[in-house]
Amino acid sequence: MLIMATGSTFFALVSTSLAFGVLHSYQGKLGVVRTGVVGFFMGAAFIYTGSLWPPMVAHALIDLVAGLVLRDRLLA
């Protein structure tokens, strides 16, 4: 929708990536940057495929792996 509203795929991709990063600000400044970059690639996957499924699956896998890696810290 943002692409249609602005006429710019690049603007839509960058602005939504920034928003995705900011929504993860509880992770600190580095977390904002990391998730912003990940958001950029997820947005690109959406634009390329036209489907939300690839970025949704990627997000779920990232969360799953993070949970498994950090499991002991989270349970302590």
> What's the pLDDT at 16?
93
pLDDT at 23 over 90: yes
Which residue, chain included where needed, has tokens 């970025």?
Answer: 55
pLDDT, position 58: 95
pTM of the model: 0.80
Q: Which residue has the higher pLDDT, 26 or 70?
A: 26
| Structure tokens belonging to residue 2 | 């943002």
Residues 67, 61: Cα–Cα separation, whole Å: 10
| Residue 13, pLDDT above cutoff 90 | yes
Go through 34-66 and write b for each residue having 16 or more CB atoms within 10 A of its CB, e for each that does not.
Answer: ebbebbbebbebbeeeeeeeebeeebeeeeeee
Q: Taking residues 21-37, what's their average pLDDT?
A: 95
Task: Label residue 3 by pLDDT band (50, 70, 90).
Answer: confident
**DSSP at 66:** H
